[in-house]
Chain A
């Protein structure tokens, strides 16, 4: 079974600064996907960024980027130029590659607060 660990229950950052959220996972699979989801107080889970395990290049989406270390099974999220709207719970998630849609395995989340 796969497990996802987020070791930082809470983090805070000043507006416009950079913050990194940590995530490690455990799997025996070789082909899989990793995701970061954002969940604001509205409860709506929003996909922030995703990474295919077979790709060596780290994914980036505007101010969001990841540091994917496959051998170390580490998948951290870096948020640059933090904005007040980034305040939310952030969940790291794992999905096996089985030729189509599959279930997501989530970590417990990190609560990020961006301070003005």
Chain B
């Protein structure tokens, strides 16, 4: 079946602009995660959805970052007033939710460049 998809694969924007990054999880996966990977670093957690609600948004760096998942499937990460420091690869992952841990399946990421 289809894996996690993310669009666009690359996004170039100017400082101060607004951007939206989209994630399509694997069908039936109720858990969805956003991570940010800066150059030369490991991914850092941003937010986790269980269904439509954000179960953990402790990784969002500030109030310019916001994410939604209105129907419990597709998620959009929104960044307002972009800054050069926001340049990174934004990774999305999804998993099934059970009482034991399940593998997180990652998408190919969106490379965001803020000029």
Contact = CB atoms under 8 A, between A and B. Distances in A.
Question: Which of A42, A100, A102, A105 has the most B CB atoms < 10 Å from its CB?
Answer: A100
A108 B104 contact: no
Contacts, number: 66
Interface residues of B, number: 30
A109 B44 CA distance: 12
A99 interface: yes
Interface of B: 31, 33, 35, 40-45, 48, 50, 56, 59, 89, 91, 93, 95-99, 101-104, 106-109, 111
Interface of A: 4, 33, 42-47, 50, 52, 91, 93, 95, 97, 99-109
A95 B106 CA distance: 16
Given A47-B103, A95-B101, A105 B50 contact: no
Contacts of A52: 101
